Amino acid sequence: MNKNEILIYDTTLRDGTQGEGVSFSAEDKILMAQRIDEFGFDYIEGGWPGSNPRDMEFFRMMKDVQLNHAKTAAFGSTRRANLTVENDPQLAQLIEAGTPVVTIFGKSWPLHVTDVLKTTLDENLLMIKESVEFLKSEGKEVIYDAEHFFDGYKADAAYALATLEAAREGGAEFLVLCDTNGGTQSKEFSEMVRRSMSENPGVAIGVHCHNDCGLGVALSLIGVEEGATMVQGTINGFGERVGNADLTTITPNLFFKMGYALHCGESLKNLREFSISVDKLANITPNKKAPFVGESAFAHKGGVHANAAKKVARSYEHMVPEKVGNRQRILMSDMSGSSSVAMKAKELGIDLDEKSNQMRAFLAKIKELENNGYEFESADASFVVQIYQHFHDLRDDFDVVSYRTISEMVRDSDTNISEAVVKLRVENNPEIKMTISESSGPVGALDHAMREAFASHFPALKSVQLVDYKVRITQTGMGTDSIVQVLMKSSDGKKSWWTCGADGSIIEASYQALCDSFRYKLIIG
């Protein structure tokens, strides 16, 4: 291993699944293991053999999967107290898993030894050493996780260090210092890693941090600066309580900011896509605020910031976003200036002159709409419609004369039935077309009725479908007079877009968003 090369140990499939709301099937875990290997991480901890049927099935299936780079690791504990390694069923299951690497954890904190394991401190040291020796004799690469190392060190530094010595004497390739409770602070963490390094020469040190104090990433980077050559963590920070150290933040910091070599270095240009793919597999909404990979990581909302970013991107961006597969985004809001509008328009494929005479009036219009509850920050399609209406004199080829919705609860069957009636007049045609549609809710009924009314006159709209719908109150404390904001996502099967509406009536706000959705589709064709 090169002096400046750091190994990345991914425990998403084991420690990550202990997070609230995170669950993977055995098949999901196989897909993710292949994706992690492709990305270039060095170790993949697959689970704890024998702890549940899913992990047992995963290790059985993995025997037929060929990875190109990463090594798979089975995870478990040292032997039980007062039991020989040959007779410990848990160690037997670790071997049976068939992985080239086995990671075992042992107790570093006297409190856990005496009060949890109910054994002696000397027996615990034998449990560590003998378990590592046994697994080594079976041809395994052994990584030793010193559980609760930092808490143990604070309670009895000599004993915590003695547990590392036991694992080292057993032949462990890595001694990993675990901040299991996530409560260690930076200065003490640094000192403990440094001493562990000095007292275990010739053995590689790793760090495993949790984010309970919000320091998981920072402590992992400090560990590397102190000499650790392995970092354990999870993708997107999945993990129990508030999560593990986030590898999507750790890896770009190590590679781009600190200059360390990583096997996944070349893959970091796809980091955002990698992050999103894991969230999708876990059925979790991506964190927009995540460093490097979040949708908002390189977003600019204030007019001054956007103007400066346009002239010199690095004046308000710490790195080139494309290096991690992200991009600069300009957000439209009541804080936007002419530069923001021009940049956002260009991002959407529209050229505007920020110094044009029309720009001042357009800015005033956008700010007034935002003040009335609209949110163009999340509704690019509605923003495009506003541009075309203001700068290109876009006029509707239709006139919705009226619409009406009626909702009925059928008590006998405990079902809702909503009906919508839409009256539409198309330009140059005096005839008024009326359509009626039903659905389980008023917005759905209005959507169906409008779609039916429009489709016969505008064939391009036949492919448009409503795929997502969000509602929030923008002004609180006004009771039923509050302004309702509707965000609507539509798709034609090839492209999707968001529109918005705002009104005291949720139906009218939905109607506005629907009309913008149709207008946008007619603009893009």
353 lies in the same domain as 436: no
User: Containing H/E element for 369?
Assistant: helix 357-371
Q: Is residue 393 part of a domain?
A: no
Whether residue 480 has pLDDT greater than 70 = no
pLDDT band at 336 (very low <50, low <70, confident <90, very high): low
Domain that holds residue 231: 7-282
Q: Is residue 360 part of a domain?
A: yes
103 lies in the same domain as 240: yes
In the prediction, which pLDDT does 451 show?
Answer: 85
In the prediction, which pLDDT does 1 show?
Answer: 45
pLDDT band at 228 (very low <50, low <70, confident <90, very high): very high
- CA distances for 487 relative to 382, 386, 476, 492, angstroms: 10, 16, 18, 17
Tens digits of per-residue pLDDT, 415-457? 788 999 999 888 777 788 899 998 888 888 998 898 888 877 8
Cα separation, 505 vs 268, in Å, equals: 46
Cα separation, 319 vs 510, in Å, equals: 39
SS percent in the chain: helix, strand, coil, step 5: 45, 20, 35
Q: Is residue 402 part of a domain?
A: yes
- CA distances for 35 relative to 31, 247, 271, 306, 414, angstroms: 6, 14, 12, 36, 46
- CA distances for 469 relative to 313, 447, 506, angstroms: 34, 12, 12
- CA distances for 89 relative to 80, 92, 96, angstroms: 9, 5, 10
Residue 439: strand, helix, or coil: strand
Q: Is residue 378 part of a domain?
A: no
Give the residue from 252, 282, 312 where a domain finishes.
282
pLDDT, average across residues 76-88: 93
Residue 359: strand, helix, or coil: helix
What's this model's pTM, rounded to 2 decimal places?
Answer: 0.74
Cα separation, 78 vs 130, in Å, equals: 8
Give the residue from 331, 354, 371 where a domain finishes.
371
Pairing mode, strands 415-426 and 398-410: antiparallel
- Hey, what amino acid is at 278? V
Tokens standing for residue 69: 């780079």
Lowest-confidence pick of 220-224, 225-229, 331-335:
331-335
493 lies in the same domain as 363: no
Whether residue 233 has pLDDT greater than 70 = yes
